[in-house]
Amino acid sequence: MISFENVGMRYGTGPEVLRDVTLDLPAGSFHFLTGASGAGKSSLMRLMYLAGRPSRGRITIFGRDLEDIPRKDLPDLRRDIGVVFQDFRLLDHLTTYENVALPLKVKGASDGVIRKHVSELLAWVGLNGQANARPATLSGGQQQRAAIARAVVTGPRLLLADEPTGNVDDAYAQRLLYLFKELHRQGTTVVIATHNRGLIDANNFPVVHLDDGILSHVETDPVYDG
């Protein structure tokens, strides 16, 4: 699915924020990504969702070498990647429903398919009562749940979530994790960056740990706990 070979990354002329990262995430695996703030988790995920290129090393995704992929082909590849950002990145001029529906519209789904999937997801994340609300009127936790619904609505091949449970209580954290597990059961590769040790300890999935831009600990066997 996605592979890193001796990857380094820097911003501009600054020091490398990722150094000699070698990592394989097989198709259909589920991994937690951990590390202190500033360890490089967000930079690693940025490379995974094709928002940047490494300063050195090799990345392959969906069987293709990133170096050989023309920039014009990147938008099509990104449509197979769902991303939950820490800052949500909802579009202010769209309603909750429209934000969640957007990836399906981009893929050309019919109105009937969009209504079905969006309605089901909004009910699952507890936002069916806020379908017509704009992001500015939602709480941080509600915005986060809307961002998660938008990321998973197309059933992506790869799902990346950066602290997806940071603004919700423990009950909703488990509910959201169940949603990620369901996608995993259906074959989606899942990577969740989190500081929530309790969430990690309660689920028997491999952990990738970053320490100052270096992979200091990797468990590579994708294990499902359920």
**Residue-wise pLDDT tens digits, 72-90:** 888 888 889 999 888 889 9
The pLDDT confidence band at residue 218, using thresholds 50, 70 and 90, is: low
Q: How far apart are CA 49 and CA 26, in angstroms?
A: 16
> pLDDT > 90: what percent of the chain?
57
Q: Is the model's pLDDT at 103 over the cut of 50?
A: yes
| pLDDT beyond 70 at 220 | no
* Rounded distance between C-alpha atoms, residue 130 and residue 101, angstroms: 14
pLDDT at 219: 60
Judged against a pLDDT cut of 70, whether residue 95 lies above it is answered with yes
Q: How confident is residue 169, by pLDDT bands cut at 50, 70 and 90?
A: confident
Q: How confident is the model at residue 130 (pLDDT cuts 50, 70, 90)?
A: very high
More confident residue, 202 or 29: 29
Q: How far apart are CA 13 and CA 164, in angstroms?
A: 31
What local confidence, expressed as pLDDT, does residue 201 receive? 84
Q: What is the pTM of this model?
A: 0.85
Residue 200 pLDDT: 86
The sheet that has 56-61: what strands, in order across it? 16-25, 2-10, 56-61, 64-65
pLDDT tens, residue by residue, 105-127: 998 999 999 999 999 999 988 89
- 210-217 mean pLDDT: 86
210: CB partners within 8 A, 6+ apart: 33, 34, 35, 39, 40, 41, 44, 216
What mean pLDDT comes out for the span 175-201? 86
User: What's the mean per-residue pLDDT of the chain?
Assistant: 88
How high is the pLDDT of residue 226? 37
> Checking DSSP bridges between strand 207-211 and strand 16-25, what pairing results, if any?
unpaired
Q: Is the pLDDT of residue 207 over 80?
A: yes
Instruction: Give yes or no for residue 217 having a pLDDT over 80.
Output: no
